[in-house]
Structure 1
Amino acid sequence: MHPDIYEHFHRDEREFVDRAWEWVVNAGEYHETKLTDFLDPRQRFILESLVNRHPDVHAVYSGGHPDAERVRALVAPDYRDLTHEDMGLNVLGITSGDQKFLSLEHGDYMGSVLGLGIKRSKIGDIYVLEDGCHVVVTDDIGTYLHMNLSQVHRVHVMTELLPMDKLKVKEIKLETMELTVASLRLDGIASDVHRISRTKMVIPIKAGRCRVNWKVVEDPSTMLKDGDMVSMQGFGRFKVLETGGLTKKGRYRVKVGKFT
């Protein structure tokens, strides 16, 4: 790969860039087809940019739902019709007779699945529903999860494997917050959203635990803008919904949506 391609990506992304470029080259030069595991939106962006660099390669993406955040990609020579390709997806339905089940959250399901030794890349979006949970998974681990997932956060559960047309999704709820901040800096807005001091917020950012639009950002002074998605390991995620005008005291009005 030409070395200048790395200029566009964070150093932590180089391993994935190398892998993705290998998929593209194998499709273009050796007529191979590659079905990836689940990619997050940043990985999808990287793969799409690499596919666009090769004139003889194309790809399709699916996570089981048009608005899926995590998707699998099928990378192939451009002469291959990908319209009806099987993307290898299953739905793991999780239910329980225990009332405690209703208080389980996204992280509880994620932790229990990963606790069975499953890689994160095998798990797509997780939809916590009123009466259970639907998890999109790669078809090669569906049966294993169905046979082995019996508890979620100490609550006994039952599972079933469902076809993709049975997937139920839930609209993501955002807790809207109206802030006034001195600037649109990442550390300032994040500290207000998570209600901790800016000094303490700088630590996880500099440690590489913050992503803006799924890309690692280590500079606390990074300026945020409308539409930016910020995730902080250990704190959760929020989205900048709107940056408004200035107050009389010269502070910025910002509307943020915190994922609940």
Structure 2
Amino acid sequence: MNIYQHFRPEERDFIDQAIGWKEYVEHSYAPKLTDFLDPREQQIVKTIIGSHSEVKWKLFGGNNGAERQRTLIYPEYLEPDTEDFQISLFELVYAKKFISIEHRQVLGSLMSLGLKRGKFGDILLKGDQVQFYAAAEIADYVRMNLESIGRAGISLKEISLLDAIQPEEVWKELSVTASSLRLDTMISALYNISRQKSQLYVQQGAVKVNWTKIENPAFECGEGDIISVRGLGRSKIATIEGKTKKEKWRVIAGRQK
């Protein structure tokens, strides 16, 4: 069976990587810990490893609702726990009275350290409290090199995972039907707008799928995709349940409140 036919052509490199992880665990009988993966990458790993009897997988991103998670792929004899995921949690210390810090500023400053996005998990904000997850193997480097966010001087305090901000983002579950899995059709169904309007959003560069701008209305959506539309918020496709009697796709999704 050709595994690639179930995925997008541009996902091929990641699929090869995931197959490599699975084979490593099978042959070495030792666990493999990935970087933080986005929901679509998590979906691909689950599909490739499946319910294979000798190789198991488990996801954890620092808290139960985390969007970006590390995957531990391991032989069946192992019983993984939280420590095995090697995740550090940092809180920003800064002059809160004078400065407000936004998500995009935190991400921009982390990316300017020259590390891959996969080394960082979710960024958590609540009021003036700002935290982020990082892979433990780069924690010292981040602590030594991250000295400012935007124009604000900051320092970092490493804290227990138990002290993580509980994300304020709430996903509202919805069930929709759509005539196809095309991006414009899905946006139309998820946000309850006309197909014409959804095509316009896509063509104007206002739509991202898994953090990548997509300008092709015919792009095919899949399970695990996070769709964000400028001005309308974010949605995620949890499950594609198959077709109804009227040949429409039934999709279980989440909309961010």
TM-score by length of 1: 0.72
Is 1:136 aligned with 2:137?
no
**Deviation (angstroms), 1:201:** 2.9
Distance in 2 separating the partners of 1:78 and 1:197:
46
Offset at residue 15 of structure 1 (A): 0.5
Match of 1:238 among 234, 237, 242: 234
Alignment length, in residue pairs? 226
Give the structure 2 partner of residue 122 of structure 1: 119
Q: Judging changes above 3 Å, is the alpha-carbon distance between structure 1 residues 221 and 49 closer, same or farther for their aligned structure 2 residues?
A: closer
* CA-to-aligned-CA distance 1:60-113 (integer Å, 9 cap, x gap): 1111111111111111111222246521010011021153432x2111100011
* Mapping of residues 23-172 of structure 1, within 5 Å: 23-52=21-50, 54-83=52-81, 85-102=83-100, 104-172=101-169
Q: For residues 49 and 198 of structure 2, what CA distance do their matches in structure 1 show?
A: 42
Distance 1:96 1:11, change over 3 A: same
Aligned-partner residue type, residue 136 of structure 2? D
Would the alpha carbon gap of residues 51 and 173 (structure 1) be closer, same or farther in structure 2, given more than 3 Å must change?
A: closer
Q: Judging changes above 3 Å, is the alpha-carbon distance between structure 1 residues 132 and 85 closer, same or farther for their aligned structure 2 residues?
A: closer
State the Cα distance separating 1:123 from its structure 2 match: 0.5
- In our comparison, the structure showing a higher alpha carbon Rg is 1
Partner residue in 1 for 2:242: none
- Whole-angstrom CA distance in 1 between matches of 2:15 and 2:218: 26
Q: RMSD of the TM alignment (CA)? A: 3.7
Structure 1: tracts of 5 or more residues without a match: 175-183, 242-255
Q: Say which SS state the counterpart of residue 144 (structure 1) adopts.
A: helix
The offset of 1:124, in angstroms, is 0.3
Question: Residue 86 of structure 1: SS of its match in structure 2?
Answer: helix
- Contact 2:96 2:128 (8 Å CA) reproduced: no
| d(CA) in 2 for partners of 1:98, 1:80 | 44
Q: CA deviation at 1:231?
A: 2.5
Q: Which runs of 5 or more residues in structure 2 are unaligned? A: 172-183, 238-253
Percent of pairs with identical residues: 27
Q: Deviations over 1:174-230 (max 9, x none)?
A: 8xxxxxxxxx7256678x79xx8944632548xxx7327x89976515799xx9841
What is the TM-score when the length of structure 2 is the normalising length? 0.73
| CA apart distance, 1:18 | 0.5
Q: Measure the CA separation in 1 of the matches of 2:163 and 2:94.
A: 18
Deviation sequence 1:38-81 (CA, Å, 0-9, x none)? 01111111111111163310011111111111111111111222
* 223 and 46 in structure 1: CA distance in 2 versus 1, 3 angstrom threshold: closer
- SS of equivalent residue, structure 2 residue 66: coil
Q: Which residue of 2 aligns with 1:201?
A: 202
